[in-house]
A and B are shown apart, each in its own frame.
Chain A
């Protein structure tokens, strides 16, 4: 029983093969590989995978073809999980992806080399989480700000905020920080109150709100 059926999209065959081999090793079934956005969407329509892993830069222009393909797949197959890999991560791209709903991930391409973490991420996406690259989150949380609103948060609250921004659920944060889920919930409420953010049941909305807040301040 495979953990999921995956379609890979990257114009670099070597990397694509490497990634496929990693996923196969990790229990995923790579059902198709594509070299550009058009091939990808064709394959997705044909194979109906559980998850697509997309390089953002692909032919013909090597700019944001992966994002376009992701948007299209999300429209046609909302239940398909999407992980977008990028040579560099940007908040506006993250927000654009997150705005499309849950089961979305956005990572630096180099994250694939940390196999354990990568596989974990794929699993969480398939379970419905929305994931933002921890490097980007770190950049957002640790930035110097004028009249920094994060100054109102305690150190623990900042840690929790970063986990929230990466797309972890309260349970995931509790596991990560070795505290109880109740404690996390308390922190989360406090954070949302301090930053004047609305509470929401949907994880991906929470991620989007936090990222948007951090980007705007």
Chain B
């Protein structure tokens, strides 16, 4: 993760640098704008001052005009009332002038001097002209008669001169005011120009700042898009495809810094997901194969079928072109019992291979453990030579132990180049238990079947012996005894009629006993079977039955005696049951032989509802029939008669 940490600094530094540049550009732009705004504000203040100076100037000018107007009125009329504004103006002037002077000085040094001159000229006007003029006028008025209308129309020449003097002074003052105002206007104009410049600068700076920022943001955005957004989007799309099961998808590992790390992480995540997925699929396939084989084992199919299935499944599962199962024999050879894979198709199943050299089968036999042969090149022995002939390069083998004893070996070989993949022995070993179980089951079944057959055969032999003893021993004795009694009876003198009759009765009793014995021996063993065959025996059975029997049994059947005996007892038992329980009016007995299977069907039209599992003689029959590898099936629906179906295979025996 040190790589990721270094990459982390990279992306953060890039972001910080980009952010700093942006902040700098924006900062400069804002500074320029702020300065321009300050200039504008200053201009506005100056403009306001200028207005106040001009206003003060105007006010002062009006006071001068008031002075002049009042003076002229008084001079012309001589009436004191015209002097009221003059008085007011004279009193207000000094303060006004001082204010004007102050404002102007504060505003502009040049204007301050001009204002001072104006103020001084104003004061000079008042003191040197206006006030003396008023006093002169008053004096004239005091010396002259009361004023008349004529006077108004005819002012004295001296007064006219005074008035002219005033007019000249006032004009001079007004000219100065105008000059002041003109300068002030010029000042305002120049200030206006400066503030326009400042506004222009501010606008430019703002525009440049915004444009720069926008450009920078755009560039940064583009950069981010290229370095972060697109790779992240690709990563997201990959994540989506991964989630959708496309485990082969990968990202180009070109991204910068953390993005590169992200891409690498995603790729390694994809790889590990792909690996896990492949492993999972392998595991599932393995489980399915094992389940298929286990099902066969559970169904108790023949071991050969299980061997063949295992060889085939292992070939498919391990992708091995040649697999095989070998059974160890006692003479240091092994028999090939099954083969799988396309390369092993033509090898002879059932053939023996010698266990010599250092091949896998020999090694497994010696060690009892799974083994691997990294190369068949130069490996000794027939098996290795066989492998080389098939183009196989290397292989593995695992032992099959049946009930603790080494029974055989299972092997798989490959023809592709490259080293032998790891773990193949383990995968192979998973099947050996199933093979062992199948072998053990078959052996147990065969043993059970043989044992049952032995039991049945022993019982049959006993029955046969008893039957023979009854006929050849007991019955012979009875017959010869009866003959002896007849001899005795014949030798009895005619006078002893009673004795004669008694002996006769004894003989008849013996004859009855012999008939009983006949019946008993017929039930013990059907001697007729060995003489007349099954068909004749079944016909005899049928004739003794209490209900009519329709027999459909071909004559001259070449059946083994054990099968004939089983069928005879089956039919005999069925007839007995029908007579006892079925209330049937007819019975059908059919026997066919197809494909080495004897099929017997016994059916009646009775009441049905038979329960063969409840202590019926059919249970003994089941043993007898199953000992022959056969099956027995009873269908007895209530009210629909009873049907007994038996199948006995002939081939295996």
Tell me whether A25 and B490 are in contact (CB under 8 A). Answer: yes
Tell me whether A90 and B528 are in contact (CB under 8 A). Answer: yes
Instruction: Give the docked Cα–Cα distance between A60 and B408 (Å).
Output: 50
Q: Indicate if A113 sits at the interface (CB-CB under 8 A).
A: yes
Main secondary structure of the interface of A (DSSP, over half): helix
Instruction: Give the docked Cα–Cα distance between A143 and B550 (Å).
Output: 12
Task: Pick out which of these stretches binds chain A: B203-211, B292-300, B355-363, B532-540.
Answer: B532-540
- Residue in A17, A88, A115, A146 whose beta carbon sits within 8 Å of that of B586 in the complex: A146
Residues 520-557 of B contacting A (Cβ, < 8 Å): 521-522, 527-528, 530-533, 536, 539-540, 542-550
Tell me whether A92 and B536 are in contact (CB under 8 A). Answer: yes
Tell me whether B487 and A22 are in contact (CB under 8 A). Answer: yes
Given the known A-B contacts A110-B479, A112-B479, A113-B483, are A144 and B531 also in contact in the complex, defined by CB atoms under 8 Å? Answer: no
Q: Indicate if B621 sits at the interface (CB-CB under 8 A).
A: no
Instruction: State the 3 A-B residue pairs at the shortest beta-carbon distance, nearest first.
Output: A18-B483, A143-B543, A87-B471
12 CB-based A-B contacts, threshold 8 Å: A87-B527, A88-B518, A90-B528, A90-B532, A90-B540, A91-B532, A110-B475, A113-B507, A115-B486, A144-B548, A145-B548, A146-B550
- Residue in B475, B487, B514, B527 whose beta carbon sits within 8 Å of that of A25 in the complex: B487
Q: Indicate if A57 sits at the interface (CB-CB under 8 A).
A: yes
Tell me whether B487 and A144 are in contact (CB under 8 A). Answer: no
Tell me whether A88 and B490 are in contact (CB under 8 A). Answer: no
* Cβ distance A97 to chain B, nearest Cβ, rounded Å: 13
Q: Indicate if A14 sits at the interface (CB-CB under 8 A).
A: yes
Main secondary structure of the interface of B (DSSP, over half): helix
Smallest CB gap from A24: residue in B:
B487
Proximity bits, A13-27, B CB within 8 Å = 1, else 0: 011011101100100
Instruction: Give the docked Cα–Cα distance between A148 and B549 (Å).
Output: 11
Tell me whether A110 and B549 are in contact (CB under 8 A). Answer: no
- Residue in B487, B514, B547 whose beta carbon sits within 8 Å of that of A21 in the complex: B487
- Residue in A64, A113, A140 whose beta carbon sits within 8 Å of that of B479 in the complex: A113
Total A-B residue contacts, Cβ distance less than 8 Å = 104
* Cβ distance B367 to chain A, nearest Cβ, rounded Å: 58
Instruction: Give the docked Cα–Cα distance between A88 and B515 (Å).
Output: 10
Instruction: Give the docked Cα–Cα distance between A109 and B510 (Å).
Output: 13
- Residue in B531, B539, B546 whose beta carbon sits within 8 Å of that of A63 in the complex: B531
Residues 479-531 of B contacting A (Cβ, < 8 Å): 479-480, 482-484, 486-487, 490, 507, 510-511, 514-515, 518, 521-522, 527-528, 530-531
Q: Indicate if A181 sits at the interface (CB-CB under 8 A).
A: no
Tell me whether B483 and A21 are in contact (CB under 8 A). Answer: yes
- Residue in B475, B527, B540, B547 whose beta carbon sits within 8 Å of that of A91 in the complex: B540
Residues 224-240 of B contacting A (Cβ, < 8 Å): none
Given the known A-B contacts A64-B531, A144-B548, are A110 and B483 also in contact in the complex, defined by CB atoms under 8 Å? Answer: no
Q: Which residues of B contact A109 (CB under 8 A)?
A: 475-476, 479
Tell me whether B548 and A15 are in contact (CB under 8 A). Answer: no
Instruction: Give the docked Cα–Cα distance between A64 and B532 (Å).
Output: 11
Smallest CB gap from B471: residue in A:
A87
Q: Indicate if A180 sits at the interface (CB-CB under 8 A).
A: no
Tell me whether A87 and B483 are in contact (CB under 8 A). Answer: no
Range of interface residues on A (Cβ < 8 Å): 20 to 34
Q: Indicate if A114 sits at the interface (CB-CB under 8 A).
A: yes
Tell me whether A63 and B511 are in contact (CB under 8 A). Answer: no
- Residue in A19, A92, A143, A215 whose beta carbon sits within 8 Å of that of B483 in the complex: A19
Q: Which residues of B contact A14 (CB under 8 A)?
A: 476-477, 480
Tell me whether B480 and A146 are in contact (CB under 8 A). Answer: no
Name 14 extra pairs, CB < 8 A, besides A62-B472, A87-B518, A90-B528.
A14-B476, A17-B480, A18-B483, A22-B487, A63-B530, A87-B521, A88-B521, A88-B528, A108-B518, A110-B514, A113-B482, A139-B540, A146-B549, A215-B539
Instruction: Give the docked Cα–Cα distance between A113 and B512 (Å).
Output: 11
Q: Indicate if B468 sits at the interface (CB-CB under 8 A).
A: yes
Q: Which residues of B contact A12 (CB under 8 A)?
A: 472, 476, 480
Q: Which residues of A contact B472 (CB under 8 A)?
A: 12, 57, 62, 87
* Cβ distance B32 to chain A, nearest Cβ, rounded Å: 129
Q: Indicate if A93 sits at the interface (CB-CB under 8 A).
A: yes
Instruction: Give the docked Cα–Cα distance between A110 and B509 (Å).
Output: 12
Q: Which residues of A contact B545 (CB under 8 A)?
A: 144
Smallest CB gap from B467: residue in A:
A87
Instruction: Give the docked Cα–Cα distance between A63 and B543 (Å).
Output: 23
Q: Which residues of B contact A143 (CB under 8 A)?
A: 542-544
Instruction: Give the docked Cα–Cα distance between A25 and B521 (Å).
Output: 32
Instruction: Give the docked Cα–Cα distance between A165 and B634 (Å).
Output: 40
* Cβ distance A24 to chain B, nearest Cβ, rounded Å: 10
Tell me whether A90 and B536 are in contact (CB under 8 A). Answer: yes
Q: Which residues of A contact B478 (CB under 8 A)?
A: 110
* Cβ distance A18 to chain B, nearest Cβ, rounded Å: 3
- Residue in B515, B530, B546 whose beta carbon sits within 8 Å of that of A144 in the complex: B546
- Residue in A91, A93, A110, A139 whose beta carbon sits within 8 Å of that of B511 in the complex: A110
Instruction: Give the docked Cα–Cα distance between A112 and B514 (Å).
Output: 12
Q: Which residues of A contact B507 (CB under 8 A)?
A: 113
Instruction: Give the docked Cα–Cα distance between A155 and B253 (Å).
Output: 112
Residues 1-57 of A contacting B (Cβ, < 8 Å): 12, 14-15, 17-19, 21-22, 25, 57
* Cβ distance A182 to chain B, nearest Cβ, rounded Å: 33
Instruction: Give the docked Cα–Cα distance between A108 and B511 (Å).
Output: 11
Tell me whether B549 and A91 are in contact (CB under 8 A). Answer: no
B487, B514, B540, B546: which has the most chain A beta carbons within 10 Å?
B540
